[in-house]
Chain A
Amino acid sequence: MIEKLKRSASEIYTSRAVLSRLVRQQLTLRYRRTVLGYLWTLVNPLLMMSVMAMVFSTIMKEDVKVFTVFLFAGMIPWTCFSSIVVQSGGAFINNEGLIKKIYLPKILFPLSISLGVLIDSALSFFALFVIILAVGGEVSQALFFLPVAYLLVFVFSLGVGLMAAVATVFFRDLQYVIQIAMQGLFFLTPVLYKKDMLSGVVADLVAFNPVVPFVELFRAPLSHASLPADDVIIKALVISIFSIVLGLGTLLAQEKKVVFRL
């Protein structure tokens, strides 16, 4: 396994040019020939979240400004996670033409998608951050923790994404199952609400939701101007290591079979 991992790492290094091309393709393709072009990547979540902030601050009877910061801080890691997982799910089946014609390290497909999403997410974070400042969000040194938070949520999502990419090749139904599961998981993740607002069965379910610590990693510095609690950081670290080990393990064990099942 270690041997395979080393070989895989050196393969990624030698094909880094392909990786960066694939990432660029992913970033530039979507909004081709639209007037706003890449700006849509920023405008889209901004508009969506503004509507959500307006509606849910009323429902929750919260101050709009406070709630906006709270919501944005939760949406950033959530969107990053769910986009990586959903899009990686199609990584192999959508590149069937290429995989069957030419050898490329299989990990390049989910990895390029995940990196593309990460870049999108980081850029829309800056746009959201401007809004957070505009509505009077607090600026503190805790913000310097955010790159670490991003790294953790990326590693975690990549691990789940790798598993999704491989599993979808074997069970095509999963593309749809993953989308529905993500919608369900969204409501079991304290993005729109605070964790302590829950009770009963739902609270128990949320306690087992692995995404929760990652949301808290972003919420503490952005919404509370403080570093996340130590136990949250450790939880997130353990979960992301677990996820990436499982993801890489799945990929390395199954990657030779992928081409035969496309």
Chain B
Amino acid sequence: MSKISVDKLSIKFRIYHDRSPSLKDYVANLFRGKRQAAYSDFWAVRDISLEFNSGDRVGIVGHNGAGKSTLLKALCRVYESSDGKVTVDGRVAPLLEIGAGFHPEFTGRENIYLNGTILGYSEAQLRLIEPEVIAFAELEEFIDTPVKYYSTGMYMRLAFSLATAMHPDILILDEVFAGGDAGFMKKATARMFEMIDRANIMIMVSHDHKLVRSLCNRVVWLDHGRVVLDGPSDEVIDKYLESITNA
């Protein structure tokens, strides 16, 4: 059984006021003795403790900059904690931005292997899913063309088909819902729901409250890097929407 526990997690960003420090500034500051504070710290996630257990379908809501994506990235280990700890039991499929590992010069087929390996699929698994991925993306004709010649829709279809080809224990989604024409949207949504259905734990960030209500059984409301409310979907979303209309 999968499990994620987040223990007093904090993530700090350093914001540079003018520009990234050059070697010259660094050396100059060394000699000046006292270092000027050319940056300030920004806590994107502050002292969050959460536990996700098997069966959880978690939606994360909050206004822009509340730390939702940062929290997801911390769960996927992209950001390491500045303080506190994240423990993950189970195989995580991070779908933060599909098609991130695609290389424009490579053909669609080569990208299936390159990106698939990066997503953690084995060579044998990839050989197995390759025909299905190509068929789902409806790219049979163009699969041996470099992806830089693909239209945005073709690119999205391939990335989506590949990312959703496997069924991971823990599914982490950041506003990932496929683009494409109406026909593809329909079958992609069905595929997405199936993937969510089969996942042991699903955590998603979305601004689409209807979607969150229909997919999640638990919602975490974040504000300025802290948890405001954590509970059943309808209850938390109602309070969140209330706070927006009152503000």
- Interface residues, chain A, with chain B CB atoms under 8 Å away: 17-18, 21, 25, 29, 32, 97-104, 170-174, 177, 256, 259-261
Contact = CB atoms under 8 A, between A and B. Distances in A.
Contact of B80 (A98, A104, A256): A256
A261 B15 CA distance: 10
Given A103-B94, A260-B79, A171 B26 contact: yes
Given A172-B22, A173-B24, A21 B100 contact: no
B87 interface: no
B78 A171 contact: no
B23 interface: yes
A18 B117 contact: yes
B101 interface: yes
B103 A171 contact: no
Contact of B20 (A99, A100, A172): A172
Interface of B: 13-14, 20-24, 26, 76-80, 94, 96-97, 100-101, 103, 105-106, 113-114, 117-119, 122-123
Given A103-B94, A171-B22, A172-B20, A21 B114 contact: yes
A104 B24 contact: no
A13 B57 CA distance: 33
A17 B123 contact: yes
A171 B100 contact: no
B143 to A, nearest CB: 17
Contacts of A98: 100-101, 118
A90 B164 CA distance: 32
19 contacts: A17-B123, A21-B113, A21-B114, A25-B103, A25-B106, A25-B114, A29-B105, A32-B105, A100-B78, A101-B78, A101-B94, A101-B101, A102-B94, A173-B24, A174-B23, A259-B78, A259-B80, A260-B13, A261-B20
Main secondary structure of the interface of B (DSSP, over half): loop
Contact of B118 (A21, A29, A172, A256): A21
Given A21-B118, A98-B100, A103-B76, A173 B23 contact: yes
B105 A104 contact: no
Main secondary structure of the interface of A (DSSP, over half): helix
B73 to A, nearest CB: 8
Contacts of A32: 105
A102 B159 CA distance: 14
B13 A101 contact: no
Contacts of B100: 97-98, 101-102
B23 A102 contact: no
A17 B23 contact: no
B119 A102 contact: yes
Nearest to B11: A260
A260 B21 contact: no
Contact of A103 (B22, B77, B97): B77
Contacts of B105: 29, 32
A106 to B, nearest CB: 11
A260 B14 contact: yes
B101 to A, nearest CB: 6
Nearest to A177: B23
A103 B93 CA distance: 11
Given A25-B114, A102-B94, A103-B78, A17 B122 contact: yes
Contacts of B122: 17
Contacts of A256: 80
Nearest to B113: A21
Interface centre among A17, A25, A102, A173, by most B CB within 10 Å?
A: A102
B18 to A, nearest CB: 14
B208 to A, nearest CB: 22
A97 B102 CA distance: 10
Given A98-B100, A260-B13, 16 more contacts: A21-B114, A21-B117, A25-B103, A98-B118, A102-B78, A102-B96, A102-B101, A102-B119, A103-B77, A103-B94, A104-B118, A171-B21, A173-B22, A177-B23, A259-B80, A260-B14
A-B pairs with lowest CB-CB distance, top 6:
A101-B100, A103-B77, A256-B80, A171-B23, A21-B117, A173-B23
